[in-house]
């Protein structure tokens, strides 16, 4: 569904595991990272002469699997010839970074991805080796093998699929680019919703599904259908959001032109709406697919839709009344959590339905690390991943994962018991 490619936003990418000289101030006081020219980065950063230094804006990010949010710094880096005072030596270009709250967290052995963006800035992402973030970055940026020397990624073959977009935007990377049909869709959205405020999520999602029409098959291909619906809604949401943000910028943020508090409040509301909307949209589209299959289920909304400790599972099959009925066979109960991205939040579903030993969680997150999926297995949590996204997981993981179609078959089988 997505028309964008990762190469629309990035010129080049390379990754390595940090050496002691790269990361440890006791081993090097220079805050320098070498080896990028070998990965072809001189064509992106240039070749400053002996009297020059090139400076680039750089978004620096440190993220671990345990952190709920990444540490992000908007800073500067310097690209220069470290042998500039030795005129008879061959140039050796290095990237100098300045100390900040991100670089204070890095350690020898951490994974580093450096990407040159189309706006002439750099993206530098640090994460401990073996994390889900590393696994995702390697899959999405074409980096099957990484060592202490920079490895060049492959961008040409990578589509900007929804899981990649969600991951990068969660890291604060803006991915907004106009496409040829944006004006058509904006006209339709304004006609339907007025062009002044956002409609309720369920109304917006319903239009996203309708706008695709018969090109999806919820009955025969639920895995692809959920992805197509989510990608279409994400596309329409960005188009409409861009229109509303432009409109608000023209209006301003209060009586004065420099209402900083008003601007910050508006910016936060935009970010919060993005985060909350995508989760509600995911649940809504799943609801439609389950109804299309004739499944009996209830969502954890409204009065009475609770389990122990006032927990509200996203989906209970066949329903909450059956769950609370101790005479109802607990082996015929199914609980499904729904999270577009898991991170450390997947553990929340473990306590949401005590009667159900083997729980299910559906996600759109790609390339979750084997460390985390092994922990899920040990906690009797079955991960449900649409078939197309399963391709980003290892062979061992794919043998364990199930798709949405398989999950639906499981629920139907239990309903017949």
**Which 3 state secondary structure label does DSSP give 163?**
helix
**DSSP annotation string for 169-215:** HHTT-------TTHHHHHHHHHHHH-SSSPPPHHHHHHHHHHHHGGG
Catalytic-role residue among 44, 93, 323, 393: 323
Q: Within the chain, what is the greatest distance between any pair of CA atoms?
A: 86
Identify the CA nearest to 70 among candidates 364, 344, 393, 371. Answer: 344
Q: How far apart are CA 217 and CA 288, in angstroms?
A: 12
CB 296, CB 412: distance < 8 Å: no
Q: How far apart are CA 157 and CA 141, in angstroms?
A: 9
Helix (H) or strand (E) holding 279: helix 260-292
Per-residue tokens: 174: 């803006």
What letter would DSSP give residue 147? Answer: -
Per-residue tokens: 238: 């960005």
- CA-atom Rg of the chain in angstroms: 24
- Any idea how long the chain is? 417
Per-residue tokens: 328: 């109802």
Per-residue tokens: 258: 């420099």
CB 61, CB 125: distance < 8 Å: yes
Per-residue tokens: 110: 């951490």
Q: Active-site residue 93, yes or no?
A: no
Identify the CA nearest to 328 among candidates 360, 302, 296, 299. Answer: 296
Per-residue tokens: 288: 């439609």
Laid out side by side, the sheet with 71-81 consists of 32-34, 93-97, 71-81, 54-62, 122-127, 111-117, 10-17, 151-152
**Which 3 state secondary structure label does DSSP give 253?**
coil
Identify the CA nearest to 338 among candidates 318, 361, 317. Answer: 361
Per-residue tokens: 267: 């910016």
Q: How far apart are CA 197 and CA 241, in angstroms?
A: 9
Laid out side by side, the sheet with 315-317 consists of 298-299, 315-317, 334-339, 359-363, 381-384
Q: Which residues are catalytic?
A: 323
């Amino acid at each position: 569904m997505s028309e964008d490619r990762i190469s629309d936003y990035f010129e080049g990418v390379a990754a390595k595991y940090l050496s002691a000289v790269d990361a440890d101030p006791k081993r090097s006081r220079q805050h320098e990272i070498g080896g990028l020219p070998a990965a072809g980065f001189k064509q992106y950063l240039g070749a400053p002469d002996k009297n020059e230094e090139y400076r680039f804006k750089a978004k620096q990010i440190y993220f671990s699997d345990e952190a709920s949010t990444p540490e992000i710094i908007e800073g500067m880096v310097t690209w220069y010839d470290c042998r500039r005072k030795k005129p008879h030596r061959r140039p050796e270009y290095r990237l100098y970074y300045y100390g900040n709250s991100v670089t204070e967290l890095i350690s020898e052995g951490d994974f580093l991805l450096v990407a040159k963006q189309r706006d002439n800035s750099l993206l530098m992402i640090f994460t401990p080796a073996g994390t889900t973030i590393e696994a995702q970055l390697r899959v999405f940026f074409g980096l099957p093998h990484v060592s202490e020397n920079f490895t060049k990624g492959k961008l040409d073959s990578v589509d900007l699929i929804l899981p990649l977009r969600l991951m990068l935007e969660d890291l604060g990377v803006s991915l907004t680019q106009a496409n040829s049909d944006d004006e058509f869709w904006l006209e339709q959205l304004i006609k339907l919703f007025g062009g002044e405020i956002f409609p309720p999520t369920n109304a917006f999602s319903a239009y996203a599904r309708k706008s695709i029409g018969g090109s999806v098959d919820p009955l025969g291909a639920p895995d692809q259908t959920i992805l197509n619906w989510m990608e279409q809604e994400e596309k329409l949401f960005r188009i409409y959001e861009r229109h509303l943000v432009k409109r608000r910028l023209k209006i301003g943020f209060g009586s004065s032109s420099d209402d900083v508090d008003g601007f910050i409040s508006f910016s936060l509301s935009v970010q919060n709406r993005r985060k909350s909307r995508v989760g509600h949209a995911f649940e809504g589209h799943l609801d439609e697919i389950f109804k299309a299959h004739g499944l009996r289920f209830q969502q954890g909304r409204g009065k009475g839709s609770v389990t122990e400790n006032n927990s509200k599972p996203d989906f209970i099959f066949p329903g909450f009344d059956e769950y609370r009925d101790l005479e109802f066979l607990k082996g015929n109960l199914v609980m499904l959590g729904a999270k577009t991205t898991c991170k450390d939040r997947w553990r929340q579903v473990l306590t949401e339905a005590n009667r159900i030993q083997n729980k299910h969680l559906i996600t759109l997150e790609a390339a979750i690390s084997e460390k985390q999926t092994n922990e899920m297995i040990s906690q009797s949590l079955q991960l449900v991943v649409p078939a197309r996204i399963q391709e980003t997981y290892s062979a061992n993981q794919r043998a364990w994962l199930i798709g949405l179609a398989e999950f639906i078959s499981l629920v139907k089988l239990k309903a017949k018991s």
